[in-house]
Amino acid sequence: MVRARVAASQADMLQVRNMVRRARLIFEALRGRCHRNTEHHHAGRNRADMRALSAMIDGELCLYRDVRIVGPVPGVLVGDAFNYRAELLVVGLHCHTQAGIGYVPASQVSEGHPVATSIVSSGGYLDDHDNGDVLMYTGSGGRPRNGGDHLSDQEFQRGNLALSYSYNYDVEVRVIRCHDCDASPSGKLYVYDGLYKVQSTTYGPGKSGREVCRFKLVRLPGQDALGSNTWRAARDLTDALVAKIRPPGYLTMDMSKGKEAVPVPVRNTVDQDVSPLEFEYLACSEFPAPPKPVRRGHKCCIYSKTACSEMSSKCAPSGCACVKRSGGGGPAYSADGTLVRGRPVVYECGARCGCPPRSCPNRVTQRGMKHRLEVFRSKETEWGVRTLDLIQPGAFLCEFTGDVLPADHPRIANANTNASTGASMEEWGGIVDPRKFPPRWREWGDAPAAVLPDDGEEPPRFAQCPAPGYVIDVSKRRNFAAYISHSRAPNAFVQLVVRGDEDESCPHLMVFAMETIPPMRELSIDYGVDQ
């Protein structure tokens, strides 16, 4: 049994957060790879998430696998959301894929008794009751595997016994709540809600008539807001915005004035600053016309009257020249519009391609944003951007826009891109240099080749393109992306995208999610500036 050392400095916090982030990125890459290679399997033992977990265990890539941590897990934040129970094991938050109670066995505890470390509460028992800060939790056992009423009495053994000793020894327990969620690929979402202590244990007849173990857990004070409360607040805000009812503190219901596919509200409950409303809103950067196209030898209507694909309704990897240009051994996007893996550049079909713009799967960013995001004011980061929706890894978020200037423009020499200190765009010149964005795209979809050596997937070979030959000036025109905060442990990244016959030296700056982002969580990218 181990109690992890609390991160003492910002550097320590960044290090452990990046460890968790990297483990989750590897898991998602492996899961996606397993899913692509076994889509024809449906049996539980062939589930992509479980195969990814098995590969990570075999490759010793799971965090804290050899120890059972009591208390907070370094790098995991209250409110973090997970699509699969397997992810809980990957980061060391919970140690079972099925059992609801995780515990340290008696052999690893000096007192000789098992101690519970975590529970997953799904509210599946008749005697469960949950009001957030106080949770009445029913022990495990006594029910058939497929659920239903208790058929036999529960006993104080295994997890139930461990949870009772957590009460005796006054040991805190991590609580993860499981929610039904249509937006999750698994249909479930697991939200870490922080630390609780067992305040009482009882044993007696439950509502089913059988003897059950019941535990009263009370949340410890001083933690970040309960995830379920945050989700409820986000849902209430969304309902109000959809109904066109302006909630208190909102400066506008849509700073884009209809230019975005989804309205972008602005909220300030901190001070009187209204600066985001003082700029002209630019939904898409305006690039100079491309040079006269030169035939590159691939089948695309950019250079002839034929479409980029011989198919009439859909761009398949086997027939679409634009898809092939992106490299990587397959399409850039999955059927649901998720970016499969990061690339130096993604070549989307363009205006002169013959495929239908609304249904072509290789035009994801051209159909606009899908998630409800808002610009908000805070004391910590001044202006920022956060989500009101659950965002899945690899989802397209927005374009980063502004006026396009040549890379050798005189203003660049005077621009001091010091976004990491919290300075405003105006203070550091309003210049965003795409060449300074670190290649975070390498981390998205990057499954270590040694982990799944025999899955038949070739190592990716990507198309190369010149570095962007421009900078973005957001001092006069911008979109809400200019308010996304800087982080060296970001939850989003910038992917370069070229459409059709556009100039390769002027790719669009597209922002994609790098992890599961829960409602009310602030977005961040790495601007490539010093901390």
Residue 449 has pLDDT above 80, yes or no: no
Mean pLDDT for 86-102 is 93
The percentage of the chain sitting over the pLDDT mark of 90, rounded to a whole number, equals: 60
Angle between helices 48-58 and 10-37 (to 10 degrees): 120
Q: Which CATH number fits domain 10-224: 2.40.37.10, 3.40.50.300, 2.30.280.10, 3.40.50.150?
A: 2.30.280.10
What pLDDT, in 10s, does the model give residues 190-200?
A: 999 999 999 99
Is domain 279-449+459-531 annotated with CATH 2.170.270.10?
A: yes
State the average pLDDT for the chain.
86
Measure Cα distances from 415 to 206, 408, 430, 453, 483 in Å: 68, 12, 7, 47, 17
Domain ranges of the chain: 10-224, 279-449+459-531
Fold identical between 10-224 and 279-449+459-531?
no
Residue 168 has pLDDT above 70, yes or no: yes
Residue 398: is it exposed, middle or buried by C-beta count within 10 angstroms (0-12/13-18/19+)? buried
Structure tokens at 56: 């990570």
- How many helices (H) and strands (E) would you count in the chain? 7, 22
What pLDDT, in 10s, does the model give residues 215-245?
A: 999 999 999 999 888 988 999 999 999 999 9
Structure tokens at 46: 């062939």
452 — pLDDT class (breaks 50, 70, 90): low
Alpha-helical segments (H) within 139-291: 158-168, 227-242
- Secondary structure class of 326 (helix, strand, coil): helix
For 409, residues 6+ apart whose C-beta sits below 8 A from its C-beta are 471
Q: What is the pLDDT of residue 39?
A: 62
Q: What is the pLDDT of residue 104?
A: 92
> Which of 334-349 are b and which e, b meaning 16 or more Cβ less than 10 Å from the residue's Cβ?
beebbbbbbbbbbbbb
Measure Cα distances from 142 to 94, 117, 150 in Å: 22, 22, 5
C-alpha torsion angle, residues 53, 58, 62, 67 (rounded to 10) = 120
- Predicted TM-score (pTM) of the model is 0.88
DSSP at 199: E
Q: Among 126-135, 169-178, 392-401, 418-427, where is mean pLDDT lowest? A: 418-427
